Copies of this chain bind each other. A is one copy, B any other.
Amino acid sequence: MTNAAQEAEARMHGAFDSLDTLDHVALLVKDVAAAVAWYTRTFRCRVIYQDGTWAMLAFRNARLALMAPGRHPPHVAIPREDAARFGPLEAHRDGIRSIYLTDGDGNSIEVLDASSLSPVRGSGG
């Protein structure tokens, strides 16, 4: 059996249900409105939040954030019930609490406090 087939079978049998979730990926863009236009024109996704400094796009299984530079680094966000164990949490404007880690190669991982997310999103989207 190939790796892909093994993975597909494991996923079908719920072997991944206990794993952490990739809540969103956040990319830097110069012009948020122009980037939202490109992504929604190019892919099937839905704008769930947008202002002049950032936007959040829903995809089927996860979300894509588009951020103007200056506030946060590009990152992958992972919700955890025990986020506080990674260090002091910072509260954001929308009430979500999180802490940014780096993986040792300069990639930022935002650990989201799962209890500060809405129930459905926190449970894995």
Contacts and interface: CB of A to CB of B under 8 A. Distances in A.
A44 B18 contact: yes
Given A20-B43, A20-B59, A105 B8 contact: no
Contact of A59 (B9, B19, B29, B30): B19
Nearest to A12: B120
A16 B58 contact: yes
Contact of A20 (B6, B15, B45): B45
Given A45-B20, A118-B5, A29 B61 contact: no
Interface range, A side: 35 or more
Contact of A76 (B9, B34, B49, B64): B64
A12 to B, nearest CB: 6
Contacts of A6: 48
A123 B123 CA distance: 21
A102 to B, nearest CB: 10
A20 to B, nearest CB: 4
Interface in A48-85: 48-49, 58-62, 64, 76, 78, 80
